Structure 1
Amino acid sequence: MDFKQKINFLKFTKEQRTGIVLLFGIIIALQLVYYFVDFDPIQEKDSSKQQWLSLQTEVDSLKLHQFNDEPVMYPFNPNFISDYKGYKLGMSVEEIDRLLAFRRQNKFVNSAKEFQNVTKVPDSLLNTMAPFFKFPDWVNKKGNNDYENFSNKPFAKKEKITIVDINQATPEDLIKINGIGEVIALRILTQKEKLGGFVSMEQLKEVWGLSPEVILNLNKYFAVTKMPNLNKIDINNASLKELSQFFYFKQDLARQIVKYRSMNGDFKNIEDLIKINNFPVEKASFISLYLSF
């Protein structure tokens, strides 16, 4: 192929030139579209999600408020602090054990100072607990009221209240308390008969139908001012039937007590009893007062 033929080969017709121009035009137009147009998918807003996010701040605030709430503490007799209650109050295991050992001798602490001498709790913890100590009325008459130096205005008495021994209370006495009718009063007295007498006001929590508010009212007017004359159970010699009839021992637990006793010998104290499976440890301080070892 000579040079002239090559030149003729490169010549385009009018239609071909028009097509080439159109092709270049299309290419340039596509490049411009690609450069200026955003092809990212448009995300539709989820209305429910947006609403939830708008409430998130309020939710976080409520959670923070919930975690900052402090538990309400009610007046109590420190002689009947259980392991669990002592732990919640901030006492160490050693401090709780000292109090329980003291109580096993049938002794009572009658003031905040005596409580500290027995348990060895630090002053900082005593200052927190002492405003809520509630001793029987006969203790106050003896003049052992040094715990009153720890002021607690929410529980300051506006009027003189005569404390009645809960074990001497009549149905009429109980009905005077707001929230207690004839039925609830009868349940309280029936519970007392089953137990042989209350040893702590904490046992009223076991009476069905008594709300925390009503129990708080009861604590204002009633207390265990004197230990009842209990017919104690000889834990090392009582039969299975006798153990089963005790309010805090069910048939299965009584059977385990007899089995443990036969395999390990006599129980020396309440600490031996709480080793048994399903023993109500949180009520051990009550139960021990109904038993003889």
Structure 2
Amino acid sequence: MNKLKSLFVFTSDQRKGIFALLFFIIALQFAYFFVDFSIPTNEDPEEQKWLSLQPQVDSMKMDIANKRPKMYLYNPNFITDYKGYKLGMSVDEIDRLLAFRKENKYVNSSQEFQNVTKVSDSLLNVMSPYFKFPDWVNNKKEYKEFKKYPNQAFAKNEKIVLIDINQATKEDLIKIYGIGEAISVRILKQKEVLGGFVSMEQMKDVWGLSPEVIENLNSHFKVSVLPNFKKIDINNASLKELSQFYYFKYPLAKEIVTYRSMKGNISNIEDLTKIKGFPVDKAKTIELYLAFN
């Protein structure tokens, strides 16, 4: 016991040494917590400037990543290759729509669009909220109900006086249900471009007219007399003159000029139908605008 007790008995110098050691340890602890021992670096002011902008750059990147392109209403009949690709359509789906439109046909509902293009239900659900069809499409049901006439006696006794379509005014056309001011102007502009209508079949060439509205037009208008316009001399007209004709686009006009140079004069409409790209279904109408001399 005495030996153990002797271990804790220190001389005056030893006690001083112990206190000095404790003081040194405590001083080191304070220095560790309160003194910055990092090595100072020479920072580039320009680098610091760019680093200060980093939070803003990161924020802009996040905004761009989360930002979705704004979609606008559009008529699906006029989807181009590029727009179809951006909307997520496959090449085959776009080609089906373009082939359908080349036949001068139009889709008038989301269901018709899917039937033509064969797009999936999921893609249709994404695209269809932005479809915008002409006003007559939305009013088609209302139009059909209008034609039924609640008073059958009136429907039977009503006598319609046919007007020459080439003499019709904008006011005459607007009276037809399904034709507004915009479409009436479009019909009159088409007449001006052609020099006059030669057949009511040409109403099918006016964009925005549904089969029902065309049928109603036929019940109110007709071509009584062929309009007086200068016919196109098919054998002497220049490439420019031919390409300006409504039914002849530049490639077809070029084919006609080539045909003339290789085989001589074109005698009749049958000769024209042999040329590549000629719209055979409109041959009878086109013939009335041409002179075969």
Scaled by the length of structure 2, the TM-score of the pair is: 0.46
Q: Which has the higher contact order (CA 8 A, sep 6+)?
A: 1
